[in-house]
Amino acid sequence: MKITTKLWIGLGILIVLSPLGLILPDHFKAGDAWGEWGVDAFKELVGYIPQGLEKLSSLWSAPIPDYAFKGWEEKGLGSLSFAYIVSAIIGILITVCVVLLIGRLLSKKE
Partner 1 sequence: MHIPDGYLGPATCGVFYAVMLPVWTIASKIVKKTLKARQVPMLAIGAAFSFVIMMFNVPIPGGSTGHAVGGVLVAIILGPWAACIAITVALVIQALLFGDGGITAIGANCFNMAVVLPFVGYYVYKAISYNAPADSKRRVLAAGIAGYVGINVAAILAGAEFGLQPFLHHTASGQALYCPYGLNVAVPAMAGEHLLIFGWVEAIVTALVVKYLQKQAPEVVEEGGV
Q: Are 42 and 50 in contact (CB under 8 A)?
A: yes
C-alpha–C-alpha distance, residues 20 and 102, integer Å: 31
**Residue among 40, 43, 45, 77 that touches partner 1 (CB under 8 A):** 45
Give least dist CB 60 to partner 1, A. Answer: 5
Kindly state whether residue 20 participates in binding partner 1, applying the rule CB under 8 A. yes
The one-character DSSP state at 33 is: P
C-alpha–C-alpha distance, residues 67 and 20, integer Å: 13
C-alpha–C-alpha distance, residues 14 and 27, integer Å: 20
Q: Are 99 and 37 in contact (CB under 8 A)?
A: no
Give least dist CB 15 to partner 1, A. Answer: 6
Footprint (CB under 8 A) of partner 1, residues 59-88: 59-67, 84, 87-88
Kindly state whether residue 34 participates in binding partner 1, applying the rule CB under 8 A. yes
**Residue among 41, 43, 79, 100 that touches partner 1 (CB under 8 A):** 100
Return the closest-CA partner of residue 66 out of 21, 16, 35, 10: 21
Q: Would you tell me which residues interact with partner 1 (CB under 8 A)?
A: 3-4, 6-8, 11, 14-15, 17-18, 20-22, 24-25, 27-36, 39, 42, 45-46, 48, 50-57, 59-67, 84, 87-88, 90-92, 94-96, 98-100, 102-104, 106-110
